[in-house]
Amino acid sequence: MMIHSKATRDMTPPEYLGNLLLLIVGGNDTTRNSMSALPLVNAAWPEEWAKLRADRELIPNAAQELIRWQTPLAHMRRTALQDHEIGGKTIRAGDKIVLWYMSGNRDETMFADAERFVADRDNARRHLAFGFGIHRCVGARLAELQLAILLETLLHRGLKPMATGAPERVNNCFVHGYRKLPARLERAA
């Protein structure tokens, strides 16, 4: 797709390689860190796992909510291509701006009770964890599918991931993930 797309077909070999590396690393970090949050979610809100056990139709939405709640990448920096006014502030062409996905995904004006994981949240898909518009992650659908399959498999096998200790976060301002997260798989009651 990258070779044939009008937007990417004229990339230099280093640009092409750089994009491939971003796809590989990005796909690993985002999916791994989203699924790794599941034991914390289950420990904090066991009633949400019960909702999933009772209604498997909620799985695709719960996968979106897990991505929103975890937000595996904290931010992205962009350069404004033209002057623009937003929120009463002027951004000039050439200005560097930072998009804080984590902040947007905890915006109480968009997500009521945003600090909670809610498996049946009606607008979970409105999260910004994969960016937006032309900068939306090309692997978003794959990540969503992987998380939905994980949830379906755990539920089918009667397993529930549970945190057994405090998480140790990675020391990184870009990747919002875990270095360690003690957990176990429990048989669901």
- Whole-structure pTM value: 0.85
Q: Strands of 101-149 (E only): list them.
A: none
| pLDDT tens track, the chain, 189 positions | 777 888 788 888 898 888 777 777 667 777 888 999 999 999 999 999 999 999 999 999 999 999 999 998 888 888 999 999 999 999 999 999 998 999 999 999 999 999 999 999 999 999 998 888 877 777 788 889 999 999 999 999 999 999 999 999 999 888 888 999 999 999 976
**What pLDDT is recorded for position 37?**
94
Residue-level pLDDT at 74: 87
DSSP 3-state of 39: helix
Cα 14 from Cα 63, distance rounded (Å): 34
**What local confidence, expressed as pLDDT, does residue 112 receive?**
96
Residues 6+ apart with CB under 8 A from 164: 39, 182, 183, 184
Provide the pLDDT for residue 115: 97
Identify the H or E element spanning 17: helix 13-36
Partnered with residue 89 across adjacent β-strands are 86
Q: Helix, strand, or coil here: 169?
A: strand
CATH of domain 13-72+115-187: 1.10.630.10
Distances from the Cα of 89 to the Cα of 83, 84, 95, angstroms:
11, 8, 12
Give, in order, the Cα–Cα distances in Å from 64 to each of 3, 114, 129, 158, 167: 30, 13, 9, 21, 22
For residues 72 and 36, the answer to whether their CB atoms sit within 8 Å is: no
Q: Where are the domains of the chain?
A: 13-72+115-187
Distances (CA, A) of 56 to 112, 142, 154: 23, 19, 11
Ramachandran class of 131: left when φ > 0, alpha when ψ lies in -120 to 50, beta otherwise = left
